[in-house]
Amino acid sequence: MTSPANRDLSRAARLSVAPMMDWTDRHCRALHRLLSRDTLLYTEMVTAPALVRGGALHLLDHSDDGPVALQLGGSDPAELAEAARLGAQAGYDQIDLNCGCPSDRVQSGTFGAVLMRSPELVADCVAAMRAAVDIEVTVKCRIGVDEQEPREVLPDFLETVSATGCSRFVIHARKAWLKGLSPKENRDIPPLDYPLVHEMKAAFPHLHISINGGIESLDEVQQHLAQGLDGVMIGRAAYHRPWDILGEADRAIYGTDHGLSAEQAVQEMLPYIEAHLSAGGRLHQVTRHMLGLFAGRPGARGWRRVLSERATRDGAGTEVVELALSQLTEPA
């Protein structure tokens, strides 16, 4: 396994897969890593209290041999510092602080997007985390929340937090509305402001800035990179169409190509699935992340149907995956 200290995170972060609650768990990342060796992957958000007070260290389990970031949620500097230490010990390449999630549950813990209102507190948290670990500490944020004027608050946020020495930010190019919109609506309704994120790169050229929000294709990724941004983060498109995004990413974004087809990726997942089942896991816990692997391909509906109907059954094993794979047909 490559040591985090020896990885080029600036290169890896040219493309990253967003942290997505209930989606980017270790099983999802196992699939995504097979599709792309180079893309920077993120965990789901893990709360610092769960690790430090709850002792839920199983949330840190991973076996990734590529660049991977642990995203933490919290607002207590000492607690975040301890959680960051635990993440570093678990072998993560970087620790990211969530300043973008708008859910009520997150707000009640005084973290997530609500922290956009408290850049000094974010700076204190980041400073404590940086002092606790030798790996990169980054921040994922929004352009603002509620009635804030993004062109006023975002530069102040970046200046205040980067004064701690934090040099890498992922900016979701939508404002978050903390009241009145659900987390799902917050991913769709507030308008995207890509130009503002590009303006922030021009205003803070020394910072590594990635853009997030509504990006659907590698062509769009390349456009943002060509316009001067350091990285692009893709969320739902990478999850729902993993081959379209990650299967082509190493070649298109990094200039490398390990030549693994979607079918080969499924075959490579079988030993992983068998190990998970042997440890008492259930098939659908892994295969639910694989439903979109053949999106747009002949037979994709049959692939999804077999996995959806059979993977949840008691005793379901890799024979279900093999049967689903047999539903695929080659393009004419």
H or E element: which one contains 212?
A: strand 208-212
DSSP string, 54-120: T--GGGG----SS-EEEEEE---HHHHHHHHHHHHHTT-SEEEEEE----HHHHHTT-GGGGGG-HH
Q: Backbone dihedral region of 14: left (phi > 0), alpha (psi from -120 to 50 degrees) or beta?
A: alpha
The answer to whether residues 95 and 128 touch, using CB atoms and an 8 Å cutoff, is no
Whole-angstrom distance, CA of residue 322 vs CA of residue 245: 24
Lowest-pLDDT range of 17-21, 63-67, 97-101, 123-127:
63-67
Whole-angstrom distance, CA of residue 13 vs CA of residue 208: 9
Mean pLDDT value across the chain: 92
The answer to whether residues 196 and 158 touch, using CB atoms and an 8 Å cutoff, is no
DSSP string, 120-165: HHHHHHHHHHHHH-SSEEEEEEES-BTT--HHHHHHHHHHHHHTTT
Q: Helix, strand or coil for residue 302? A: helix
Whole-angstrom distance, CA of residue 300 vs CA of residue 119: 46
As beta bridge partners, residue 96 has 71, 138
The token pair that represents 10 in the structure block: 């600036």
Mean per-residue pLDDT, 170-185 = 82
pLDDT digits (tens, 9 = 90+) for 35-52: 999 999 999 999 999 999
The answer on pLDDT for 179 being more than 90 is no
The alpha helices in 176-299, defined as continuous H runs, are 183-186, 194-203, 218-226, 236-240, 242, 249-254, 262-278, 284-287
Catalytic, out of 28, 99, 101, 166? 101
Backbone angles phi, psi at 81, to 5 degrees: -60, -45
pLDDT at 186: 58
Residue 99 a catalytic site member: no
pTM confidence score: 0.93
pLDDT at 181: 65
Q: Sort 180 into a burial class: Cβ within 10 Å, 0-12 / 13-18 / 19+.
A: exposed
User: Which value, in Å, is the radius of gyration of the alpha carbons in the chain?
Assistant: 20
The token pair that represents 67 in the structure block: 């660049």
Q: Helix, strand or coil for residue 312? A: coil
pLDDT at 191: 86
| CB neighbour list of residue 300: distance below 8 Å, 6 or more residues apart | 294, 328
pLDDT digits (tens, 9 = 90+) for 261-270: 999 999 999 9
The token pair that represents 119 in the structure block: 């850049």
pLDDT digits (tens, 9 = 90+) for 101-122: 886 655 556 788 999 999 999 9
The answer to whether residues 231 and 21 touch, using CB atoms and an 8 Å cutoff, is no
